[in-house]
Amino acid sequence: MELFYSSTRDKAEKVTASQAILQGLAQDGGLFVPSYIPALSVDMDVLKDMSYQETAYEVMSRFLTDFSEKELKDCIAAAYDEKFDTKEIAPLKKAGEAYYLELFHGATIAFKDMALSILPHLMTTAAKKNQASGEIVILTATSGDTGKAALAGFADVPGTRIIVFYPKNGVSPIQEKQMVTQKGANTYVVGIHGNFDDAQTGVKKLFGDRELNEELKEAGFRFSSANSINIGRLVPQIVYYVYAYAKLYGAGVLKKGESMNVVVPTGNFGNILAAYYAKEMGVPVGKLICASNENKVLYDFFRTGSYDRNREFVLTTSPSMDILISSNLERLIYKIAGADDVKDAAFMKELSEKGTYTITPQMKEKLADFYGNYASEEETAAEIARLYKEADYVIDTHTAVASAVYRKYRKETGDEHVTVIASTASPYKFARSVMDAIDEKYDAMDDFRLVDELSVLSKTAVPKAVEELRTAPVLHDTVVEKDEMKAIVKKILNF
Phi and psi dihedrals of 197, rounded to 5?
A: -60, -35
Measured between alpha carbons, how far is residue 117 from residues 226, 350, 417 in Å?
11, 35, 32
Q: Residues 324, 330, 335, CA angle at the centre, nearest 5°? A: 145
Q: Are strands 98-102 and 419-423 parallel, antiparallel or unpaired?
A: parallel
Gap between the Cα atoms of 387 and 110, Å rounded: 20
Enumerate the H helices of 110-209 as residue ranges: 113-116, 119-129, 145-154, 173-180, 196-208
Instruction: Provide the annotated active-site residues.
Output: 112
Q: How far is CA 399 from CA 98, 187, 405, 468, in A?
A: 12, 29, 10, 24
The C-alpha atoms of residue 414 and residue 409 are separated, in whole angstroms, by 8
- Which parts of 69-186 are beta strand (E)? 92-95, 98-102, 135-141, 160-167
Rounded Cα gap, residues 225 and 23, in angstroms:
8
Q: What residue type is assigned to position 193 of the chain?
A: H
> What is the rounded end-to-end Cα distance, in angstroms, of the chain?
43
